[in-house]
Chains A and B, each alone.
Chain A
Amino acid sequence: MALTLPPGVSAAGFQSALQAFEGVVGHDWVLATDEDRLTYSDLYAPGTEAQNAPSAAVAVGSVEELQAIVRLANQHKIPLWPISRGKNLGYGTAAPRLPGSVVLDLGRMRRIIEVNPDLGYCVVEPGVGFFDLYEHIQANDIPLMMSVPGNAWGSVIGNALERGIGYTPMGNHTRNLCGLEVVLPDGDLLRTGMGAMEGNHAWHCFPYSYGPGIEQLFCQSNLGIVTKAGIWLMPRADTHLALSMQIDEEGDIGWIVDTISALKRSGVITQNQFVSSWLGRLVLMGQRRDFYDGPGAIPETRVRELLRQHHLGFWYVNIRLYGDDRITRAQADVIKEAFGRHTQIPFVEEPWRRGEPFMAVDPSFGVPSAIPLMMGAWTGGRGAHLGFSPVVPPHSSHVLRQLARSRQRIAEHNVDFYASFTIGDRHINNMNMLMFDRDDPAQVANLRTLFNKLVSDAREAGYGEYRTHLDWMDPVAQTFDFNNHAQLRLYEKLKDALDPNGIIAPGKQGVWPTAYREHRA
């Protein structure tokens, strides 16, 4: 990939900045070849990768190195795009919002600093992946379990900061953050929460502080670079009981959500509850052409045939209960009774005991896997995906409304429909996975038009996305429009105050520093 210089920086100025970076991290960790730029660009870009092209990457090995790089970036006016492990697949991967930014790769900061089995937390660095932490916990036989996202290749911290989702009782990952260490845009070092007191013993136990809490200011944020975080983990459940059900009719999602939502608020269902449509199962069974070889979305009649043939319902519900059999049996009884008011379909009940095999496709085991990424192979060619994911209240009135709108739009654009609902306590992340072949310009163009409409439709109906791809960071930020975008205006005041040169992740989530504001889409 050819070099795109940072805005306003000359070739000589850029080389001089890279030399200064080398003085901190060494020649081997300033990565500035064409090949390096390619590896840090967005493999799944819905369009050209050039519009999010990195100019180079610099990989720091410690907090001190990171502070030094941030100070140099200020001197040389080089925008940095911090990544933990760069696996934000479907949202931009490792690529920066502003072309020409230098990717600041924290992947070498990969220490597991502490795992506290008594209090149920760990303290890790950003380069620690879900697999690393899992292996550490297993190897040391620590009686804790993790919550993992669908693609667990990425960073534990990065995922929590991006408000990633898991499927255990600790599946709201951003809520598991407790105590951050942050390098600020001027190179200063901050500890949040109780960690603001040197040596405080409750840093990773009490999620607030004395005075205003500021941890969420560093989530989906460009106000600082998180270098350590406490992450809560749940006690390991050595026995589980899973209740699963295939449910045939699309419209059934209304009562499914109402039933699960009530059971969640009353504490009977504890996990972040995932309900997915049939395509979520089919993508694991083969490629699109194995099921349907025509252009456009798979027609309804063929969908019905496929569901029959593969014993799939329209929706798949898989409720996992964790812990002592005596409790999970009682929970199961209550759940069966509640579902029994709507359907005669019996649950498939699968008890599981530690040591028994587990299914890698089921993230509710809390075991990392990259299996769901198989959807990347669905379309053939260089497959990619984009997630349209509005947040809706967990009630049928909202779910059916939002589903009808997005379903209609997706059908109008002749794209395969793959929706899932992850039901939290008082919200749902409604993920609509859109898969496309990057090498087919017509598919890419169609998808971009579709995505724009989905965003504006949702806004019109009163819903917004929780996270989005680089290309829609500005349009989605614009949908948060109360009082002439008062929230965005505040973010940008903070941005300019804390980062006057605007060097940390300009444009992240639509927040632009004055220095680069003309790049807003």
Chain B
Amino acid sequence: MRRTALIAVAVALLAGCTASGDGNGQAAPKAGGPPPTVMPPMEKAQGPDVTNDATRLATAQEGERLFLRRCGVCHLEGGMGTQIIARRVPANQAKLQDRLGLTPEFVIRTARDGMGAMPRITRVEATDAELAAIAAYLSRRR
């Protein structure tokens, strides 16, 4: 995927610990600091807006799209949540979409109660119906 390729390039840059020089032969010092995090263009990753009062309270909404819109800020590639979760789960499960074994109850409790650095999600941010759809989507790989 293109996104993965971008990250690979960025990581390779860091591994070499060089930043691009200025072309005047000036030696660049080692960059240091955190690994570069490349975020994908959000409007492509997250899809169109799904904030519509007429539908926000309806049941059987599309969980994947809602997840991308409501949770994608932190839980897509390179996001804060993804990076923190990466510290404690198998390498290919840092993105919530890829996690195995999530239950709807766990997703809902985590969203409403918060967890670690994750703030709580109100019903204005994700209605019960929306959160139920998101929870069903994230627990599809049980």
Give the CA-CA distance A377 to B30 in the complex, in Å: 27
Size of the B side of the interface (Cβ < 8 Å), in residues, is 51
A374 near B33 with CB under 8 A, answer no
Find residues 68-96 in chain B having any chain A CB closer than 8 Å to their own CB: 73-74, 78-80, 83-84, 87
Chain B residue at minimum C-beta to C-beta distance from A241: B22
Is A72 located at the chain interface by the 8 A CB criterion?
no
User: Could you say which residues of chain A place their CB within 8 Å of the CB of B26?
Assistant: 346, 349
Give the CA-CA distance A346 to B21 in the complex, in Å: 10
B31 near A94 with CB under 8 A, answer no
Q: Which of B33, B51, B53, B80 contacts A310 (CB 8 A)?
A: B33
B27 near A370 with CB under 8 A, answer no
Report the contact-size class of chain A (Cβ under 8 Å from the partner): 35 or more
B32 near A310 with CB under 8 A, answer yes
Is B125 located at the chain interface by the 8 A CB criterion?
yes
User: Could you say which residues of chain B place their CB within 8 Å of the CB of A367?
Assistant: 39
Find residues 166-218 in chain A having any chain B CB closer than 8 Å to their own CB: none
B10 near A357 with CB under 8 A, answer yes
Chain B residue at minimum C-beta to C-beta distance from A93: B119
* Contact flags A358-377 to B (C-beta < 8 A → 1, else 0): 11110000011111011111
Is A472 located at the chain interface by the 8 A CB criterion?
no
Q: Which of A39, A132, A377 contacts B120 (CB 8 A)?
A: A39
A107 near B124 with CB under 8 A, answer yes
B79 near A370 with CB under 8 A, answer yes
A311 near B79 with CB under 8 A, answer no
User: Could you say which residues of chain B place their CB within 8 Å of the CB of A404?
Assistant: none
User: Could you say which residues of chain B place their CB within 8 Å of the CB of A286?
Assistant: 87
Q: Which of A38, A135, A357, A373 contacts B112 (CB 8 A)?
A: A38
A312 near B33 with CB under 8 A, answer yes
CB distance from B115 to the nearest CB of A (A): 8
B113 near A38 with CB under 8 A, answer yes
User: Could you say which residues of chain B place their CB within 8 Å of the CB of A87?
Assistant: 119
B122 near A86 with CB under 8 A, answer yes
Give the CA-CA distance A40 to B114 in the complex, in Å: 11
Q: Which of B41, B53, B114 contacts A61 (CB 8 A)?
A: B53
User: Could you say which residues of chain A place their CB within 8 Å of the CB of B38?
Assistant: 357-360
Is B28 located at the chain interface by the 8 A CB criterion?
yes
A349 near B20 with CB under 8 A, answer yes
Is B37 located at the chain interface by the 8 A CB criterion?
yes
Given contacts A43-B119, A138-B41, A361-B34, contact A153 B73 (CB under 8 A): yes
| A-B pairs with beta carbons under 8 Å apart, 27 shown | A38-B113, A39-B122, A39-B123, A93-B119, A94-B122, A107-B124, A135-B43, A138-B41, A138-B43, A139-B43, A246-B29, A284-B33, A311-B17, A313-B32, A346-B26, A349-B19, A349-B26, A358-B38, A359-B37, A360-B78, A361-B37, A371-B37, A371-B78, A376-B116, A377-B84, A377-B117, A383-B117
Top 5 closest pairs, chain A to chain B, by CB: A376-B117, A311-B32, A284-B34, A349-B22, A311-B30
A residues engaging B (CB < 8 A)? Answer: 28-29, 31, 35-36, 38-41, 43-44, 57, 59, 61, 85-87, 89, 93-94, 105, 107-108, 110, 131-132, 134-135, 138-139, 153, 244, 246, 281, 284-287, 310-313, 316, 332, 345-351, 357-361, 367-371, 373-377, 381-383
